[in-house]
Homo-oligomer: A and B are copies of this chain.
């Protein structure tokens, strides 16, 4: 792994987030990031495909985690039960790695920059595609699989927003559960 000073990738991530929050995404140039991390511009693009990607490292493996989760779940569960019982707890773990403080700083940077918001949307879109495929592999029909995947991701996304807004107070699985309950209530006939 690391030969020179190890952790080049991590240094770049930290430097980038600091600068994005301080100056804004557009105003921050790649040479500024690499200077702060003690590296060269070319090295930045060896670790990240583009300037935005520095805030989304590692998230490329979310889809495969989702796929594995669905493949291992009891076959009896329907789509909505899977979301409630399978995804919510697993999702919580993902967010344990980094502290709440880092998550809030990261969100602040993303919310401030349309280009980063777009990247965030793509992340959730990929997650939805993985879910959809997982549902279909379990025998769910195409339309239902697609809608269940989209609704699951929507609930997850809305729940994360609420959870961060409240500084992590009710824990994430609880917040996801509340959000799914609200979805059920909203779409029930008499609503």
Contact for A183 among B78, B162, B182, B187, CB less than 8 A: B187
Q: Which DSSP category, helix, strand, loop or mixed, fits chain A's interface?
A: helix
In residues 151-191 of chain A, which contact B (Cβ within 8 Å)? 151, 154-155, 157-158, 162, 179, 182-184, 186-189, 191
Tell me the minimal C-beta distance from A181 to chain B in angstroms. Answer: 10
Residue among A121, A125, A155, A187 with the most chain B CB within 10 A?
A187
Whether A191 pairs with B158 at a CB distance below 8 angstroms is no
In residues 100-133 of chain A, which contact B (Cβ within 8 Å)? 114, 117-119, 121-122, 125
7 contacts between A and B (CB under 8 A): A79-B191, A80-B186, A117-B122, A118-B118, A121-B122, A143-B162, A187-B188
